[in-house]
């Protein structure tokens, strides 16, 4: 049976962070209980999880700032890769953002992660050359 896609709840925070560790996602300064709880409270539809009988096996963040949709943290447990779950999560994220009014979507992908860049390059997304990303943690 395929995992069910649903919005994450505050009860899922620890499991989502554990999934990111298990999926070997690159850790960011906001990848903690406080940051994830804040996101879910601020935008309850932003974090989509793939739930297989109570075990979270995938996630994606679909953030909407009122102007552009951003996709972050597409992660699938190693036990569930190469089955289309990443594409299902991405389609759900895109749909949620488009229904909110996003006319342009962007995805933040770690350039040094070959599996991640391969996933994005294999789909209809265009790699945007000539752009840099600057970050700051105040």
Q: Each residue of 10-21: pLDDT tens digit?
A: 999 999 999 999
β-bridge pairing 47-52 and 4-7: antiparallel
Q: What is the pLDDT of residues 67-115, one digit of tens each?
A: 999 999 999 999 999 999 999 999 999 999 999 999 999 998 988 888 8
Backbone angles phi, psi at 51, to 5 degrees: -110, 120
Q: Are strands 69-76 and 105-107 parallel, antiparallel or unpaired?
A: parallel
Backbone angles phi, psi at 2, to 5 degrees: -75, 145
Among 3.40.50.300, 3.40.630.30, 3.30.70.20, 3.30.2290.10, what is the CATH number of 4-121? 3.40.630.30
CB count in 10 Å sphere of residue 110: 11
Distance CA 138, CA 123 (A): 34
Domains of the chain, residue spans? 4-121
Global pTM?
A: 0.92
Tell me the pLDDT of the chain averaged across its residues: 93
């Amino acid at each position: 049976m395929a995992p069910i896609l649903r919005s994450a709840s505050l009860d899922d925070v620890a499991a989502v962070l554990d999934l990111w560790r298990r999926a070997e996602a690159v850790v960011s300064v906001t990848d903690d209980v406080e940051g994830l709880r804040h996101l879910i409270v601020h935008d309850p539809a932003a974090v989509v999880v793939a739930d297989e009988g109570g075990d979270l096996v995938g996630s994606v963040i679909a953030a909407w700032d009122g102007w552009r949709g951003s996709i972050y943290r597409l992660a699938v447990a190693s036990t569930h890769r190469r089955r289309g779950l990443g594409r299902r999560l991405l389609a759900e994220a895109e749909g949620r953002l488009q229904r909110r009014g996003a006319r342009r979507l962007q995805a933040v992908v770690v350039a040094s992660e070959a599996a991640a860049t391969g996933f994005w390059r294999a789909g209809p997304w265009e790699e945007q050359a000539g752009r840099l990303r600057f970050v700051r943690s105040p």
